[in-house]
């Protein structure tokens, strides 16, 4: 996969974060793999805590009511802190999620809608956070309100400059706090719409982290809320000039910068940055050739089994009527939705679908022509690695004598390729996939396991000894885990009888055609 | 994983989580500088309607007769809204000068004034003048009710008086042609003195503390 220099830099950063988290928590508990779902989890926490806080918020006395909530030692204090910390974590999670997708070249083509709607959701979240801080009406809230008024006052929208509201020339009207609260409550509806758009083009979207991780994160935030309550500055006073404000830099990191320049410059920077971010799909788009070729279907081979539409993580494949006289449906790929992950190729028993060069037949041809000759005189264990696997892992496996076979995604690996390795004399095949929630094809490791061990089409044939096949995970920072899995597998295969290499392996693939009458709705 | 390694990992992950949460809490409430030093501030903030400078004439009976009955105003006025010169001096030094006009393209909306002048804490002689820039023969608008005509009967009875009353109300609502403030103010460090226009007393006044309000408890 070709990456731009910026993508490579982002990938190095993400890999370093992943490696650090994997060493500390283990890859299965690495929260950085879950940032998209963590953002959604934080939205749920914000919704729950926000509804509680709303019960005690008073428009007529915003600062006092929030101070009263914060002073409540039983519930209000930590619920407010949890609301605040969940906001911070939402912003962090959404930003890291975007960075990961950018680093993995998942920001263009069919994913453009997800990219833009994700940015929209983050922007809406920041607006919501802004109004939330203003609700508290402490010095930080007033600072945000004053800066917001300064920025808005250069737009020809309001008849009276908003800035005067906070000058002390009269009371800050309750209407201001009402409008602010209204925005704070209504804007999350936009978050919901943005989230719906964000996942609208994926099949089986995963919205929440694994249950254990989700509870652990919420629990940790609750503990932090109790032990380290979120700050609340002194009540806003237009006749005092505070030296500092307790500023949430995760949400308002831009505030000290914006205050130093004119509103026009601030708007210009915001506009340019927003435009750049929205245009990332355009900047990072590639020609749909080479490894980015969309899948195609060979109608002569398609039996109409309806498996590839079920496995495609992007909903890019549908079954349509054939234009010949065969009594089945035929798969059709929508190139505008296909991300070239090749997972459909692994799902197709007759090997009639996939991106060019990645279909099952292409895989077998490649193995026959390029890899099997290297098996002489003694075949080695084959380690199939995802192209995303860290180079250090691949090198370490090679150093241990494994024959490394790279695939774009383990979900692309056809079961017949594994059969061919084993029947050609390889002692065993171990497939290293990415952590399940960090798969660029979204569902590669899941479908691989189903195809190898649970008879999902295109299943590994029963004639292949399952003791000679293993699945493991290659996560950045977990070289020890990769090597441990390899050593364990090697030990297991040593105990097995040496397989006899067949001379000219022909892999029979089996697939039951579905008659048109049964498949048609 | 052995029990010892599992316990070690648990301890390390617990410590890492605690450190991350402390960082989160710190970043969530970083003391970011806002107003540097002990500088105080003079703030001018008010909203007032600009005066309308008009030239009025009384329509003749023939002119009125040609008009639809509901449009028969006795007095026809043409004019524009005044502009004002703002001048602020502190301890005899000019701190700011500006021309101030009503908002809107035609400057017919109220004047919204918000100016701030940083200054060292302590006592300062502050002079603020807000003066109409246009000169007229008479500051009081010449507008008097004229004798009621025959048409001012029925539904339109008393119209001339109402016209005059409305004109007078508008004149009273406008900012006076000349406003001034000359006083010595003692600014506390990081304090703000607000100069505003009292629409009832029709003069500039100084406030140094918050009004009782929802937003300024």
Choose the mutation target among A169, A178, A244 for the interface with B, i.e. most B CBs under 10 Å.
A169
pLDDT, tens digit, 9 for 90 and up, residues A317-341: 999 999 888 889 999 999 999 999 9
If pLDDT is split at 50, 70 and 90, which confidence band does A265 have?
very high
A87 and A220 fall within a common domain = yes
Specify if B27 maps to a domain: no
* DSSP per-residue string spanning A406-444: EES-GGG--HHHHHHHHHTT-S-EEEEE--GGG-TTSSH
Examine the fold and report which residue of A223, A252, A283 is the final residue of a domain before the chain moves on: A283
Number of structural domains chain A divides into: 2
Which residue in chain B is spatially nearest to A177 when comparing CA positions? B215
Please name the residue of chain B whose CA is at the shortest distance from the CA of residue A258. Answer: B34
Residues 6 or more apart whose CB falls under 8 angstroms from that of A339 comprise A106, A109, A110, A111, A314, A316, A441
d(CA B35, CA B190): 8
For the cut 60, the answer to whether the pLDDT of residue B61 exceeds it is yes
Residue A490 resides in a domain? yes
CB pair distance less than 8 Å for B215 and A172: yes
The answer to whether residue B105 neighbours chain A at the CB level (below 8 Å) is no
Using pLDDT thresholds of 50, 70 and 90, give the confidence band for residue A505: low
Report if residue B76 sits inside a domain: yes
CB A231 within 8 A of CB A246: yes
Flag whether pLDDT at A518 surpasses 70. no
Quote the distance between the C-alpha of residue B167 and its chain's center. Answer: 22
Q: What is the ipTM of this complex?
A: 0.89
Residues A241 and A367 in one domain: no
Q: Is the pLDDT of residue A305 over 50?
A: yes
Residues A278 and A320 both lie in one domain: no
A196 and A318 part of one domain: no
Tell me, yes or no, whether B2 lies in a domain: no
A45 and A60 in a common domain: yes
- Report residue B155's pLDDT band, with 50, 70 and 90 as the boundaries: low
Q: Give the whole-angstrom CA distance, residue A142 versus residue A177.
A: 12
B167 falls within a domain: yes
**In this structure, is residue A513 part of a structural domain?**
no
In a domain, A206, yes or no: yes
One domain, residues A439 and A469: yes
Q: What residue ranges in B26-176 does DSSP mark as E strands?
A: 30-33, 40-48, 52-58, 75-81, 84-90, 93-100, 111-119, 122-132
Q: Tell whether A11 is covered by a domain.
A: yes
pLDDT above 50: residue B134: yes
**To the nearest whole angstrom, how far is the Cα of B192 from the nearest Cα of chain A?**
5
Residue range(s) defining the domain that contains residue B96: 39-207
CA dihedral A301, A305, A310, A316 (to 10 degrees): 40
A279 and A299 inside one domain: no
- The model's pLDDT over A197-248, given as tens digits with 9 standing for 90+, comes to 999 999 999 999 999 999 999 999 999 999 999 999 999 999 999 999 999 9
Contact of B143 with B75, CB cutoff 8 Å? yes
Window A:70-99, CB contacts with B under 8 Å:
84-85, 88-89
Residues 266 through 305 of chain A touching chain B, CB cutoff 8 Å: none
Residue from B189, B215, B216, B217 whose CB has the most chain A CBs within 10 Å, to mutate: B215
Nearest CA distance, B167 vs chain A (angstrom) = 24
Residue A230 shares a structural domain with residue A328:
no
The domain in which residue A101 lies consists of 5-283
Q: Give backbone dihedrals phi and psi of A233, rounded to 5 degrees, phi first.
A: -75, 175
CA distance B158 to B162: 6
The answer as to whether B147 is a domain residue is: yes
Same domain, A350 and A255: no
Please indicate, yes or no, whether residues A296 and A257 belong to a single structural domain of this protein.
no
Chain A residue numbers with beta carbons less than 8 Å from the beta carbon of B28 are: 84-85, 88, 230-231, 248-250
- Pick A24's closest partner by Cβ from B12, B110, B208: B12
* In-domain check, residue B190: yes
A143 touches chain B (CB under 8 A): yes
* Average pLDDT of the residues in A447-465: 94
Integer Cα distance of A141 and A66 in angstroms: 12
Based on the fold, state whether residues A314 and A429 are members of the same structural domain.
yes
Domain final position from A283, A311, A339:
A283
Q: Number of A to B CB contacts under 8 A, please give it.
A: 159
| Cα end-to-end span (Å), chain B | 59
Band (pLDDT 50/70/90 cuts) for residue A262 is very high
Interface of A with B in 216-255 (CB under 8 A): 220-221, 223-224, 228, 230-231, 235-250, 255
For chain B, what is the domain count? Answer: 1
CATH code (residue A170): 1.20.810.10
Domain membership of residue B1 (yes or no) is no
Q: How close B150 gets to chain A, by Cα (Å)?
A: 42
Q: Render pLDDT for A388-399 as a digit per residue (tens, 0 to 9).
A: 999 999 999 999
d(CA A418, CA A415): 5
Are A270 and A304 in a shared domain?
no
């Amino acid at each position: 996969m070709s990456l731009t220099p910026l993508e490579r830099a982002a990938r190095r950063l993400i890999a370093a974060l992943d490696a650090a988290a994997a060493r500390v928590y283990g890859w299965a508990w690495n929260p950085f793999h879950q940032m998209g779902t963590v953002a959604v989890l934080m939205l749920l926490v914000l919704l729950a805590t926000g509804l509680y806080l709303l019960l005690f918020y008073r428009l007529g006395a915003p600062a006092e009511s929030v101070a009263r909530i914060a002073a409540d030692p039983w519930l209000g204090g930590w619920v407010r802190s949890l609301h605040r910390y969940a906001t911070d974590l939402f912003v962090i999670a959404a930003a890291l999620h975007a960075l990961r997708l950018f680093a993995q070249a998942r920001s263009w083509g069919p994913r453009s809608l997800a990219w833009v709607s994700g940015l929209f959701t983050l922007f809406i979240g920041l607006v919501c956070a802004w109004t939330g801080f203003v609700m508290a009406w402490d010095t930080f809230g007033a600072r945000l309100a004053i800066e917001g008024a300064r920025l808005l006052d250069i737009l020809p929208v309001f008849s009276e400059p908003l800035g005067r509201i906070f000058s002390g020339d009269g009371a800050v009207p309750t209407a201001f706090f009402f409008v602010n609260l209204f925005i704070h409550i209504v804007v999350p509806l936009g978050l919901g719409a943005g989230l719906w758009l964000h996942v609208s083009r994926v099949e089986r979207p995963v919205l929440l982290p694994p249950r254990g991780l989700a509870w652990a994160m919420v629990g940790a935030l609750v503990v932090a809320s109790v032990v380290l309550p979120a700050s609340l500055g002194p009540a806003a006073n237009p006749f005092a000039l505070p030296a500092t404000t307790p500023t949430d830099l995760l949400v308002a990191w831009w505030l000290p910068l914006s205050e130093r320049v004119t509103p026009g410059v601030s708007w210009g920077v915001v506009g340019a940055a927003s435009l750049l971010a929205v245009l990332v799909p355009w900047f990072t788009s590639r020609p749909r050739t080479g490894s980015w070729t969309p899948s195609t279907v060979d109608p002569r081979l398609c039996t109409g089994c309806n498996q590839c539409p079920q496995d495609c993580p992007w909903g890019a494949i549908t079954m349509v009527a054939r234009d010949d006289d065969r009594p089945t449906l035929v798969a059709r790929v929508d190139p505008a939705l296909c991300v070239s992950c090749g997972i459909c190729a692994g799902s197709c028993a007759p090997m009639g679908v996939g991106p060019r060069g990645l279909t099952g037949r292409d895989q077998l041809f490649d193995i026959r022509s390029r890899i099997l000759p290297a098996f002489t005189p003694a075949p080695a264990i084959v380690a199939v690695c995802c192209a995303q696997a860290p180079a250090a892992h691949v090198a370490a496996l090679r150093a241990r004598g494994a024959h490394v076979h790279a695939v774009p995604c383990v979900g692309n690996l056809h079961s017949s390729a594994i059969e061919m390795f084993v029947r050609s004399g390889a002692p065993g095949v171990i497939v290293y996939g990415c952590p399940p929630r960090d798969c660029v094809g979204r569902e590669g490791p899941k479908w691989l396991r189903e195809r190898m061990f649970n008879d999902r089409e295109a299943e590994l044939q029963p004639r292949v000894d399952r003791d000679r096949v293993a699945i493991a995970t290659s996560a950045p920072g977990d070289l020890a885990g990769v090597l441990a899995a390899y050593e364990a597998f090697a030990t297991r295969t040593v105990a097995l009888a040496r397989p006899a290499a067949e001379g000219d392996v022909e892999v029979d693939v089996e697939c039951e055609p579905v008659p048109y009458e049964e498949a048609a709705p | 994983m052995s029990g010892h390694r599992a316990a070690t990992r648990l301890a390390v992950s617990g410590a890492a989580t605690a450190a991350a949460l402390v960082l989160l809490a710190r970043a969530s409430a970083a003391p970011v500088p806002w107003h540097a030093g002990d500088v105080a501030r003079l703030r001018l903030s008010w909203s007032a309607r600009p005066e309308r400078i008009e030239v009025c004439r009384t329509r003749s009976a023939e002119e009125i007769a040609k008009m639809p009955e509901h449009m028969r105003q006795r007095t026809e006025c043409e004019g524009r809204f005044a502009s004002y010169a703002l001048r602020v001096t502190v301890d005899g030094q000019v701190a700011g000068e500006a021309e101030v006009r009503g908002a809107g393209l035609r400057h017919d909306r109220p004047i919204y004034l918000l100016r701030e002048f940083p200054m060292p804490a302590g006592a300062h002689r502050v002079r603020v003048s807000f003066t109409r820039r246009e000169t007229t023969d008479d500051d009081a608008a010449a507008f008097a009710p004229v004798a009621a005509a025959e048409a001012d009967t029925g539904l339109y009875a008393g119209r001339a008086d109402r016209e005059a009353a409305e004109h007078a109300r508008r004149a009273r609502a406008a900012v006076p042609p000349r406003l001034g403030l000359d006083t010595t103010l003692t600014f506390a460090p990081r304090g703000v003195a607000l100069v505003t226009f009292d629409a009832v007393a029709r003069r500039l006044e100084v406030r140094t503390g918050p009004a009782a309000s929802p937003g300024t408890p």
